[in-house]
Amino acid sequence: MAAHRRAFIAGVFEHPTRKAVNKSLGQLHREVAAGALADAGLTRADVDGYFVAGDNTNLYPLSFIDYLGLRPKVIGATDTGGSAYVTHVGQAIEAIEAGKCEVALITLAGKPRTGGAAADPVPDWPLPDVPFEQPFGRAVINTYAMCAARHAYEYGTTSEQLAWVKVAFSHHAQHNPNAMLRNVVTVDEVLESPMIADPLHRLDCCVVSDGGGAIVVVSEAVAKALARPLVAVRGYGDAVKHQAGGKVDLTYTATRWSAAVAYEEAGVTAADIRYASVYDSFTITVLEQIEDLGFAEKGKGGAFVADGGLISGVGRLAVNTDGGGLCNNHPANRGGMTKIIEAVRQLRGEAHPAVQVPGLELALVNATGGWLGTRHAAATMILETK
């Protein structure tokens, strides 16, 4: 199926700010949109498809379309949290292949650091599960801590092994001038940081940042007229995992299913992948996805990530060479957008020389959205240079 794909990622942009004190949410969206379009060699007038997730409230696609001055023929607003932007790329490709649009713009922006939502509390939404969970004090961090504790119970995964995820990404972040945390840390420093929700320490948790990013997806006809290197999507898959009435295994994610679809469509396996962008809200998020993506057997992810297994030029698999959400940024508390951007940089040969994977032709992007301990979605893409 990969040979029949007729749409390409032509432009990407990551906002350099991590603390947008004097910028509105609309400004951030406008600036990332302008950056991605400039990267592609296109203008706002070329855009006829627009995709955005829940970066605002109340008719948010219409608000941003108005603010950006767009006239799209296709509008997408699927919201699956951090995985939404990977899903949007897939939806944009489908719209382009169906002849509905030629140039699709996808934007993300947020201000959780300066906008009063830094702690990312679980809101009292009018959803059927909330009354059953809120009395027990559900929060984002403790739902992930439950997954880490269960993985440790089932497979003997240690806090030291989880710490290696943070260590690896800190080695990458030292080369990123925009990263929030640029200091290389050790396993001991991770373990000595305050315990937030057992067994997760403070350094097992992602940063909270303002900022955003944008992606431009174009048709084959438009792509041929552009001077920029193009990135194709060879395979793509979506999946969801929910609580199933309480009959849930906390040691795996919906990635188990989304990855299977993406690999089959791309005609590749995990063994073909040397670089991966993997959503990293917490260290346990990475470890479970590493297993679900087939890079390690279930229960052996701890051994895979240990001793620099994810460090570019050291381990078999380079992961999150921009520093990821654990060290670089996590705009709007949603990490899927920046995962795509760094994968595109790697495939273009535009990552920092110290972390660039040489001769890279294939890259994998995987993001989750929601809460691993309750309900969540996953989206997987296999990208290649063209």
Q: What is the pLDDT of residues 54-67, one digit of tens each?
A: 765 556 788 889 98
What value does the mean pLDDT take over residues 183-208?
98
SS (H, E, C) the chain: CHHHCCEEEEEEEECCCCCCCCCCHHHHHHHHHHHHHHHHCCCHHHCCEEEECCCCCCCHHHHHHHHHCCCCCEEECCCCHHHHHHHHHHHHHHHHHCCCCCEEEEEEEECCCCCCCCCCCCCCCCCCCHHHHHHHCCCHHHHHHHHHHHHHHHHCCCHHHHHHHHHHHHHHHCCCCCCCCCCCCCHHHHHHCCEEECCEEHHHECCCECEEEEEEEEEHHHHHCCCCCCEEEEEEEEEEECCHHHCCCCCCCCHHHHHHHHHHHHCCCHHHCCEEEECCCEHHHHHHHHHHCCCCCCCCHHHHHHHHCCCCCCCCCEECCCCHHHHCCCECCCCHHHHHHHHHHHHHCCCCCCCCCCCCCEEEEEEEEECCCCCEEEEEEEEEEC
Instruction: Quick: pLDDT tens for 29-47.
Output: 999 999 999 999 999 999 9
With respect to CATH, is domain 7-115+210-232 assigned 3.40.47.10?
yes
d(CA 2, CA 4): 5
Q: What is the CATH number of domain 134-208+234-385?
A: 3.40.47.10
Q: Where are the domains of the chain?
A: 7-115+210-232, 134-208+234-385
**Does pLDDT of 117 surpass 60?**
no
pLDDT confidence band for 140 (50 / 70 / 90):
confident
d(CA 301, CA 36): 35
Q: Tell me what pLDDT residue 327 has.
A: 98
pTM recorded for the entire structure: 0.94
Biggest distance spanned by C-alpha atoms of the chain: 57
Q: Tell me what pLDDT residue 190 has.
A: 98
**Does pLDDT of 162 surpass 70?**
yes
Q: Do 134-208+234-385 and 7-115+210-232 have the same topology in CATH?
A: yes
**Does pLDDT of 125 surpass 80?**
no
**Does pLDDT of 119 surpass 80?**
no
**Does pLDDT of 93 surpass 60?**
yes
Read off φ and ψ for residue 218, nearest 5 degrees. Answer: -130, 160
Q: Tell me what pLDDT residue 122 has.
A: 53
**Does pLDDT of 149 surpass 90?**
yes
